[in-house]
Structure 1
C-alpha cells in the first residue's frame, strides 16, 4: 500500500487525503487538521430533547404520569433521535476535508465513555460529544476536568446517587482506572476517598454542579495528599503522578497505528507527553511524524467505521444513507453512543471475529453490486430505518486508470487497498482480470469491479 494512502486511512476514513499528504507533507497536514473548524449549532433533531434541568424534571414527571402507550411512543421518538444523531456524526466523518478531527473525537468518545442507553437524554450525549470535538487537540488534563463535570458523565456513572453518608464509587473508580492512571497506580482507599470529593456533584443546566446539601466536607487522603478536595483539585493531584502519561499514549497508539504497541514506544511517547504538559497537539505530531517514517503497514485491524467508510468512498457510493451505515457498524460491534460498557470497544482481534468477517464480505458483495447495506434479520428498533432499504441500485464509480493492462490495473488497486500480496494471490487476481483484458471493452468496469470485490474480501484488506 502507498504510504500516503496508508496514513490517509489512519488519520481519516478513506484515501481522500492521500494527495494532500503527499503534496504538503505529514507535518503540514497535521497542522491544518489541528486548525479545522466545526459546526457548533444544535441540530434540528434535538429540538425536543430536554436541555435544562427543569426541562428534564418536567419530562420525567410527565413520563411517570403517562399511559403505557404514551411511554412507548416517547421511547420510540428518543430512539429515532439517537439514530439521527449517529447518522449526523457519520456525515461529519464522510464530508470533513480534514477528518482527523472526527477520528480524534471518536477516540475520546471511546475513552470517556457515556452512553445513550444509560443517560437517556440525547442532548446531554450531544453535549458530551461536542466537548470532545471542541477539545480533541487540546490539553488532556483540561479535557478530563470538563468530562467529569459533564451531565452525561455524572449520570452515566451514577454520581447523581453519590452523597454524604451514601457514597457511590463508580465515577471515582473510573476516573482513576479508565480515564487517567490505569490499574495498579492507585489504591482502593483512593477510590473510596475520591468518592467523598465527588459527593454532591450532580446534574446542572450546562454542566454538572455541586450541591452543598449532599457534599462531604471532611478532609481525606488522596494519592498521598490530605485535604477536603473537590474534583478540579483531585484531577490536579492525579496529573502529578509519575505514571499518568502512559495509559493515554498506549490507547492513542492502539487507536491509530498498532493493535499491540510495544512498551518501549508507550513509554517513549508517554515521557514526551509529560514533557509537553499533556498537550495533545505536540504528542500527536511526534507520534504521527515519527511513525510515518517507519514500515508499519498491516499492524492494525480496521474498525467497522474505517472498513465501511473506505469501502463506500472507493465505490463513490453517493446514495447510501449514513443511518444505514450506523446500523451496519452496530451489527459489527461498534454502536456509536452505545459502547458495551464503560471500558469501551476493545478493538484489535475483536474487530475480526469469523462472524464479523462474514458480515463484511456480505456487505462488500452488496455494495459492489450497487445495493445498499442490508441484514438478514431486522432488529425491532431499526426496522423502520431498514425499510428504507428497498430503493433502486446505486450507481457506482470505481476510479481506475484505463490506459494500462491487467497487471498495471491490479497494481493500482493493490496500492490503494492492500498492504501486501503473495504470489498465489497475485495469480488469483490475474485469473479475474486476464492478460488480454481490454480497458475499452463494454464490460470493462464490471470486470474491474469483480477484481475490487475479490480484493476487499481478503484478510489483508482488513488491515491498515
Structure 2
C-alpha cells in the first residue's frame, strides 16, 4: 500500500487525503487539520428536544400525566432524534476537508463514554460530543475537567445519586480507572475519598454544579494530600501522579496505528506528553511524524467505521444513506452514542470475529452490485424518517487507469487497498483480470469491479 494512502486512512476514514499528504507533506496536512473550524451550531433535529432545566422539568411533568401511548410516542421521537444525531456525525466525518478532528473526537467519544440510552437527554449527549470536538487537540487535563463536569457524564456515571452520607463511587472510580491513571495506579481508598469530593456534583444549566445540601465538605486524603477537595483540585492532584500519561498514549497508539503497541513506545510518547504539559496537539505531531517514517502497515484492524467509509468512498457512492451506515455500525458492534459499557468498544480482534468478517463480505457484495446495505429488508416504523428508499439501486464507479494493462490496474488497486500482497495473491488477481484485458471493450468496468470486490474481501483489506 502507498504510504500516503495508508496515513490518509489512519488520520481520516478514506484515501481522500492522500493527495494532500503527497503534495504538501504530512506536517502541513496536520497543521491544516488542527486549524479546521468547529461548528457550534445546534442542529435543527434538536429543536424539539429539552435543553434547559425548565424544559426538562416540563418533560418530567408530561411523563407524570401522560397515557402509556403518549409516553411511548414521546420516547420514540427521542430515539429518532438520537438516530438523527448519529447520521449528523457520519455526515461530518464524510464531508470534512480535514477529517482528523472527527477521528479524534471519536477517539475521545470512546475514552469518556456517555451513552444516550442511559443519559436519555439528547441535548446533553450533543453537548458532550461538542466538548470532545472543541478540545480534540487541546489539553488532556482541561478536557478531563470539562467532560467530568458535563451533565451527560454526571448522569451517565450516577453522580446525581452521590451525596453526603450516601456516596456513589461510580464517577470517582472511572475517573481513575478509565479516564486518567488505569488499574493499579490508585487505591480503593482513593476511590472512596474521591467520591466524597464529588458528592453533590449534579445537573446544572450548561454543566454540572455542586449543590450545597448534598456536598461533603469534610477533609479527606487523596493520593497522599489532605484537604476538602472538589473536582478541579482532584484532577490537578491526579495529573501529578507518575503514571498519568501512559493510559491515554497507549489508547491513542491503539486508535490510530497499533492494536498492540509496544510498552516502550507507550512510555516514550507518554513521557513526551508530560513534558508538553499534557497538550495533545504536539503529542499527535510527534507520534504521527515519527511513526510515518516506519514500515508499520497492517498493524491495526480497521474499525467498522473505517471499513464502511473507505468502501463507500472507493465506490464513489453519492448521497449515501447515512442511516443505513449507522445501522451497519450497530450490527458490527460500533453503535455511536451507545457503547456496550463504560469501557467503550474493545477494538482490535473484536472488530474481526468470523461473524463480523462475514457481515463485511456481504456488505461488499451488496455495494459492489449497487445495492443498499439492507436491500430487501422491511423497514420498521422508526426508520420512516429516511429521505431515501433503502432498497433503491444506485450507481457505483471505481477510479482506475483506463489506459493501463491488467498488471498496472492490479498494482494501482493494491496500492490503494491492501497493505501487502505476495505472488500467490497476484496470481489470483490475474485470474480475474487476465493478460488480454482491454479497457475499451464492453464489460471492462464490471471486470475491474469484480477484482475490487475480491480484494476488499481479503484479510489484507481489513488491516491498516
TM-score of the alignment, normalized to the shorter chain, above 0.5: yes
Q: CA deviation at 1:384?
A: 3.8
Instruction: Name 2:289's counterpart in structure 1.
Output: 289
Instruction: Kindly indicate whether the alpha-carbon contact (under 8 Å) linking 2:374 and 2:391 is maintained by their aligned counterparts in 1.
Output: no
Instruction: Name 1:72's counterpart in structure 2.
Output: 72
Instruction: Name 2:172's counterpart in structure 1.
Output: 172
**Which deviates more, 391-400 or 180-189?**
391-400
Instruction: Name 1:369's counterpart in structure 2.
Output: 369
Instruction: Name 1:263's counterpart in structure 2.
Output: 263
Correspondences of 1:324-335 after superposition (within 5 Å): 324-335=324-335
For 2:448 and 2:297, the matched residues in 1 are separated by 25
Q: 3-state DSSP class of the match of 1:339?
A: coil
Q: Does 1:348 align with 2:348?
A: yes
Q: 3-state DSSP class of the match of 1:289?
A: helix
Instruction: Kindly indicate whether the alpha-carbon contact (under 8 Å) linking 2:112 and 2:179 is maintained by their aligned counterparts in 1.
Output: yes
Instruction: Name 1:223's counterpart in structure 2.
Output: 223
Q: 3-state DSSP class of the match of 1:345?
A: coil
User: CA deviation digits over 1:80-122, x for unaligned, max 9?
Assistant: 1011000000000000010000000000000000000100000
Q: 3-state DSSP class of the match of 1:326?
A: helix
Q: 3-state DSSP class of the match of 2:111?
A: coil
Change (3 A) 1:129 1:378: farther
Q: 3-state DSSP class of the match of 2:226?
A: strand
Change (3 A) 1:183 1:379: farther
Instruction: Kindly indicate whether the alpha-carbon contact (under 8 Å) linking 1:299 and 1:463 is maintained by their aligned counterparts in 2.
Output: yes
Instruction: Kindly indicate whether the alpha-carbon contact (under 8 Å) linking 2:406 and 2:435 is maintained by their aligned counterparts in 1.
Output: yes
Instruction: Kindly indicate whether the alpha-carbon contact (under 8 Å) linking 2:375 and 2:390 is maintained by their aligned counterparts in 1.
Output: no
Instruction: Name 1:410's counterpart in structure 2.
Output: 410
Instruction: Name 2:234's counterpart in structure 1.
Output: 234
Instruction: Name 2:91's counterpart in structure 1.
Output: 91
**Which deviates more, 51-60 or 145-154?**
51-60
Aligned residues: 464
Instruction: Kindly indicate whether the alpha-carbon contact (under 8 Å) linking 1:324 and 1:386 is maintained by their aligned counterparts in 2.
Output: no
Instruction: Kindly indicate whether the alpha-carbon contact (under 8 Å) linking 1:113 and 1:344 is maintained by their aligned counterparts in 2.
Output: yes
For 2:397 and 2:38, the matched residues in 1 are separated by 29
Instruction: Kindly indicate whether the alpha-carbon contact (under 8 Å) linking 2:321 and 2:390 is maintained by their aligned counterparts in 1.
Output: no
Q: Point out where structure 1 has 5 or more consecutive residues left out of the alignment.
A: none
Q: 3-state DSSP class of the match of 2:163?
A: coil
What's the C-alpha RMSD, in Å, of the aligned pairs? Answer: 1.3
Q: Does 1:208 align with 2:208?
A: yes
User: CA deviation digits over 1:351-388, x for unaligned, max 9?
Assistant: 00000000000000000001111178678686546895
**Which deviates more, 36-45 or 99-108?**
36-45
Instruction: Kindly indicate whether the alpha-carbon contact (under 8 Å) linking 1:374 and 1:386 is maintained by their aligned counterparts in 2.
Output: no
Q: Does 1:163 align with 2:163?
A: yes
Instruction: Name 2:81's counterpart in structure 1.
Output: 81
Q: CA deviation at 1:328?
A: 0.6
Q: CA deviation at 1:167?
A: 0.4
Q: So what's the TM-score if we normalise by structure 1?
A: 0.98
Change (3 A) 1:106 1:390: closer
Instruction: Name 1:154's counterpart in structure 2.
Output: 154
Q: CA deviation at 1:389?
A: 4.3
Q: Does 1:274 align with 2:274?
A: yes
Q: Does 1:53 align with 2:88?
A: no
Instruction: Kindly indicate whether the alpha-carbon contact (under 8 Å) linking 1:200 and 1:214 is maintained by their aligned counterparts in 2.
Output: yes
For 1:259 and 1:379, the matched residues in 2 are separated by 36
Instruction: Kindly indicate whether the alpha-carbon contact (under 8 Å) linking 1:86 and 1:337 is maintained by their aligned counterparts in 2.
Output: yes
For 2:207 and 2:319, the matched residues in 1 are separated by 38
For 1:375 and 1:461, the matched residues in 2 are separated by 24
**Which deviates more, 33-42 or 289-298?**
33-42
Change (3 A) 1:90 1:315: same
For 1:222 and 1:21, the matched residues in 2 are separated by 47
Correspondences of 1:18-33 after superposition (within 5 Å): 18-33=18-33
User: CA deviation digits over 1:395-428, x for unaligned, max 9?
Assistant: 1121000111000000000000001112222111
**Which deviates more, 216-225 or 56-65?**
56-65
For 1:116 and 1:379, the matched residues in 2 are separated by 22
User: CA deviation digits over 1:190-219, x for unaligned, max 9?
Assistant: 000000000000000100000001000000
For 1:144 and 1:269, the matched residues in 2 are separated by 19
For 1:127 and 1:381, the matched residues in 2 are separated by 28
**Which deviates more, 319-328 or 40-49?**
319-328
For 2:236 and 2:21, the matched residues in 1 are separated by 38
Instruction: Kindly indicate whether the alpha-carbon contact (under 8 Å) linking 1:378 and 1:386 is maintained by their aligned counterparts in 2.
Output: no
User: CA deviation digits over 1:255-291, x for unaligned, max 9?
Assistant: 0000000000000000000000000000000000000
Q: 3-state DSSP class of the match of 1:110?
A: helix
Instruction: Kindly indicate whether the alpha-carbon contact (under 8 Å) linking 2:190 and 2:221 is maintained by their aligned counterparts in 1.
Output: yes
Q: Point out where structure 2 has 5 or more consecutive residues left out of the alignment.
A: none
For 2:76 and 2:437, the matched residues in 1 are separated by 53
For 1:442 and 1:133, the matched residues in 2 are separated by 48
Instruction: Name 1:101's counterpart in structure 2.
Output: 101
Instruction: Name 2:245's counterpart in structure 1.
Output: 245
